[in-house]
Amino acid sequence: MENKVTDKSKILIVEDEESLAIGLEFNLQHEEYEVKIAKDGREALLFFEEDEFDLIILDIMLPYLNGFEIAEKIREKDAQVPILILTAKTNFQDKIKGLEIGADDYLTKPFHLEELILRVKGMLKRKSWYKTVINDKPVYSFGGTEINFQTLSCSNEKGNFNLTKNEAMVLRYLVDNKDKVVSRKELLENVWHVNPDIETRTVDIFISHLRKYFEHNPSNPVHIKSIRSAGYMFCE
């Protein structure tokens, strides 16, 4: 396949189904990634403490600690490492829960290997993009709000709080395109790096979160506006 990684990215697979874990390991190594497997929640956190990973592929139903619990513990210590939840749980509310606790993407089993590889590449590309943009003006202020895009911390009249990395990336893209219309397709392509024909509802969920944080009246937004049939526009 094309576009293989030259400087090996390190991936942690957290999966208790041995055959699936080994299959993922083989195919990701073929893409020239360095791979480590954890078979349960305890081992996942141990490996996370001992090593640095560029991406984590995380099952939900695991021995000792489930994937949601692992993701929460990882996010307490690292706001930036990409997390891809890979699970047989297809309930949309499970997906929302995963994204709200800080997972970057969510893929249900059974899945197509090519889609997983594309998502992994997209997440690593997104990580690289975000690392670059936060070095340029890591702190931004508007409408009584101050945001640190490096630490993901915010403060305004609603208090002090943290964004998830996905929320921060969506907001940063809108800020960098201030006073311009940004379509859902553009956000999916340039922030999520996924096929823009899928998961447009995901974009709306994150916009809703951002309005809750930053709009005095989320139902009548002045900073993150909806442009009918076109997308969204950020205004100071």
pLDDT digits (tens, 9 = 90+) for 41-81: 999 999 999 999 999 999 999 999 999 999 999 988 887 88
Token pair 């210590």 in the structure block, residue: 77
Mean pLDDT of the chain: 87
Q: Are 13 and 29 in contact (CB under 8 A)?
A: no
Q: Are 10 and 54 in contact (CB under 8 A)?
A: yes
Residue 1 reports pLDDT greater than 60: no
Q: Are 41 and 69 in contact (CB under 8 A)?
A: yes
Determine which of 81-85, 126-130, 135-139 has the lowest per-residue pLDDT on average.
126-130
By the 10 Å C-beta count (0-12 exposed, 13-18 middle, 19+ buried), 195 is classed as: middle
Q: Which residue has the higher pLDDT, 30 or 188?
A: 30
Q: What percent of the chain has pLDDT over 70?
A: 93
pLDDT for 80 equals 80
Render pLDDT for 169-225 as a digit per residue (tens, 0 to 9).
Answer: 899 999 999 999 999 888 887 877 665 555 567 788 889 999 999 999 999 999 999
Residue 8 is classified by DSSP as: P
Query: Which residues is 134 bridged to in the sheet?
Result: none
pLDDT for 77 equals 87
Q: At residue 90, what are phi and psi to the nearest 5 degrees?
A: -105, 0
Overall average pLDDT of the 122-149 stretch:
86
Render pLDDT for 97-114 as a digit per residue (tens, 0 to 9).
Answer: 777 777 888 888 888 899
